Amino acid sequence: MRTAPTILHLDMDAFYASAEQAAKPSLRGKAVVVGGVGPRGVVATASYEARRFGVHSAMPTGQARRLAPNAAFLVPRFHLYREISEQVMALLRALSPLVEPLSLDEAFVDLEAGEVAWDAASAEAVGLRLRADIRRVTGLTGSVGLAASKMLAKIGSEEAKPDGLVLIPPGTERELIGPRSVRILPGVGPATGDHLRRAGILTVAEIAEAGEDELVRLLGKSHGAHLYAMALAHDDRPVVAERDSKSVSVEDTYDVDIHDRVRVRMEVRRLAERCVERLRGAGRSGRTVVLKVRRYDFSTLTRSETLRGPTDDPAVVREAAARLLEAVDTTGGVRLLGVGVSGLADYTQEDLFAQAEHAAEEAEAGAETEGAAGGVGGADVAGVGDVAGMPGGSEAGTGSVSGAGDAGAGETGSAGGGEAEGAVESAPRRWLPGHDVRHTEFGPGWVQGSGLGRVTVRFETPYSRVPGRVRTFLVDDPDLEEGEPLPLVEPAASAERG
């Protein structure tokens, strides 16, 4: 382990919620909850004002509404969060070639590798400058931890929240972590924590006192030895510039349980195609297809099938997912479905048997529907695409919109789906709370809510000095259209400060 606190951990403060507050002056200083807004939605992030009421991430949205009934509940705008994340990561990469992103709002940085810090004083100076640069470029705040290891740097950033910096001097680590709960150590989740608690081990110091042999007896050789080393503050894990994804997956949660077997098959088909889109977007292929089904009674089943070799063919993944579904009983209803691909590789070894079968199906379908302009494919897409084209449909697992579909569900060359566009009727516009709109007369604003054929919009921008005015329109008002998020920092002001 190094002798200087030159590993930096950055964690943006209540990232999604803070971005929404920065974009919407009327919400600054108010309780804001970002996540799925439907009956089965889940909180992605809560502002610090909302946390005072007990709201936290991963909490069911219904429970959050009971705790903070006056909070603003917004649907995530992931396109905005990604843009901000790219700005922050660019600042980190200017410090060092070794930047290890953990998520959109969190990363480790090896300052020694960038030759920008070599001791406590220089590391602290870099951390302070980074926080100022993040505020200048994005208008948001981030907390910084500095230590000689990744584990301690992350503990430091947690101590620093919100909007602070904590440097842990080398040599003080065990004194700092000893009295803390075992849950602060990497690899200790609820199950391991309960196991240790039953053995009378509650703090990090008690792990160290128990000894490695006892930990191995309780948790197994690998996990026990790892945990004992962490309790002694021994963490030699390097900062890795590229974190290699182990899998790619998508899933949707439905407001109302799906009982119709045909609808379940359609949803699995759509999820498989979305999964392949992400797989191809990452330039990867995979050889194991995974199906996840959460049933009406909250029981979750996972089934997988390993192919002959890695593939990124939507037909192959779709057919494997369909086969897996046939072995699952869904008669009681389904509340969540997911499709994933693991065993990732950078090349493909196509399943020729599946492709041949797919080609035969296409030929047969073409013969049966010749001259009928994709009727079957059109019906498939129309049945699942009720929010096609709307931003942030059901992304990143927060999707609580029942049946929220992608516009591309029938555009991957799948059997009977190649001509789906001509058969899909335009879906009615849906106005998601928190999302951007623009009115031809009143300019940019955001959706406060909608219902009963009307949509309420607050017209303000990140640069408004006072909260904007609220107006209500018919949902099909031709002067109202979806908008794009504005930068959180006014471009001219940012350039002047730079």
Show which residues are catalytic. Answer: 106
User: CA-to-CA distance for 370 and 146, rounded, in angstroms?
Assistant: 66
Cα separation, 54 vs 72, whole angstroms: 15
HSE of 253, CA atoms in CB hemisphere, 13 A: 19
